[in-house]
Chain A
């Protein structure tokens, strides 16, 4: 499925109609008004405008697709967690409780938004924006198939998409720290500080293990990395790196056992304590969006992305792999307790960093031997 071609076709169709209205109908008005409208119509139908519109349309489709996926993921998480706990999970809204998330969202929408009196107003307002916007930005880089991804105006994929994705991924702790500080609450502040401390520990091993993938693939772009895994997934030669990356991506998307900033048992609701209504809803939703993005990145980097027998479409391959990764996330969440702040630093610096270095050595050895 070529998303860019489809959206280009749609925007071309719309702009042709606009062109027809302006230059075909309004252009019949005598001078000096008619040629002016004709000019507008011609400009609208030009390649640049149509490409711009196609890009916006593309982004819209990607975001809607991601949101639908996130709703499905939340539903899967609630159902699987319920099965682990021997209960049923959401049940009443929709078939098997599928629309429970929509109902919860509607509930959050009608809730009052309460601002803490002594909060830092600017930080309080801007933190959710940074968090949500940066998380949506990750999706721009992740293609579900060679066709189904954000392209520039001429149909070319983004070079260095992986670097962009990780750069944007790393913005979130900053907004968490801002939120935790500006809410003027000890729990939120502790949560924000924990987020910063956690970021110190997981970011370096994760990027080192990603570096080994770059080394083998020889490219920063998702498409090249996935195409390089045609014969063998990188999870097999770089198993160590995959494990490190998996642990670190759980920490990155702040899920158990690494959800230190939002530790319900210790800090009321962590750094989101003082946010109410749909702001809190957006935070929760965005956390799952980040989970979706993390699963997608893990799939693309280590599990062969959309590679697979071509009976099934590429996008379905990608999504099914990402869903399986998410299922593992859920099982990890259900099985393991939350670890302490000092333990995650210990884990990151003393265990994962040396292992990531070893992994990098393995990658270099493989590349030097000429096997990849």
Chain B
């Protein structure tokens, strides 16, 4: 028995001491140590709770004020557990906000990662059980908390954002930019120019915003989302100017511009209004592809950012 080996190590000799007295003594010593110096491993759950790590992924919390209703969280959810609900809010008006079905949620946190405004976050709350399936479906109002502190805000960068309604296309910003990242590009068929900003080259100096006489440019902080976002590719030929994409855009990145020269003569001699087209301010776009879904004429197509090469409609 003494020569038995186990995994290269010699086993204890099968003696009275090794087999009987040692285990009893070890058990006794360990128990006394645990009883008088330690605490049991068991946690009496409703009375005591484990200390959860800061990054624990539990129930979501949604800030209605920060959320722009872009529904990217719904799109990226691998289990299709999130849904958008239309709400009438007394302060915010008619809005769309996401809710979560916790019966399906796998707590992967992709919705939190993709959120462009840090509006949806995950808390350490894990008591989500319910007596029926409907109870597991949390409406936007159930997870609403506008005052929730963002523990780990995403990295942000200050960038100029353009309000195209105010812009008159004078090009002051392009002249003043120290790195020449702003170019004045003509918007097709409208006869107007709009500044196009190369965000990759921008140094966030804010001189363009100061130079703009119309205050159309504004320096705004923008979160860096670690996902490649698709950008809308616009086909002017099939655009009817219905402005559905503009209404659907949560980031106000789409503007409707008249195209002069498209007026038609009516039968009674008056002229119709000029046809409109959509103009995209891609600096503001969050890549939610709601415009592409809203468009009924297949005029907008979402293209990954890396494959995006200029394009019609800029």
Contacts and interface: CB of A to CB of B under 8 A. Distances in A.
B92 interface: no
B65 to A, nearest CB: 44
A371 B34 CA distance: 45
Interface string B40-72: 111010000000000000000000000000000
Contacts of A336: 19-20, 23-24
Interface stretch (A9-17, A85-93, A109-117, A119-127): A85-93
12 contacts: A82-B40, A83-B34, A84-B30, A86-B38, A87-B40, A87-B42, A88-B42, A331-B27, A331-B28, A331-B31, A334-B31, A335-B26
Interface of A: 80, 82-84, 86-88, 91, 331-332, 334-336
Interface of B is mostly: helix
Contacts of B15: none
A332 B24 contact: yes
A210 to B, nearest CB: 22
Given A84-B30, A335-B23, A336-B23, A91 B40 contact: no
A207 B95 CA distance: 88
Contacts of B28: 331, 335
Nearest to B44: A91
B78 to A, nearest CB: 37
A83 B31 contact: yes
Nearest to B22: A335
Contacts of B24: 331-332, 335-336
Interface string B275-294: 00000000000000000000
Interface string B6-41: 000000000000011001101110110011001011
Given A331-B27, A334-B27, 14 more contacts: A83-B34, A84-B27, A84-B30, A86-B41, A86-B42, A87-B40, A88-B44, A91-B44, A331-B31, A332-B24, A335-B27, A335-B28, A336-B23, A336-B24
Nearest to A327: B28
A335 B21 CA distance: 9
A190 B131 CA distance: 46
Chain B CB within 10 Å, residue with most, of A80, A86, A87, A332 = A86
Contacts of A87: 40-42
A84 B24 CA distance: 11
A80 B30 CA distance: 12
Nearest to B19: A336
A332 B31 CA distance: 13
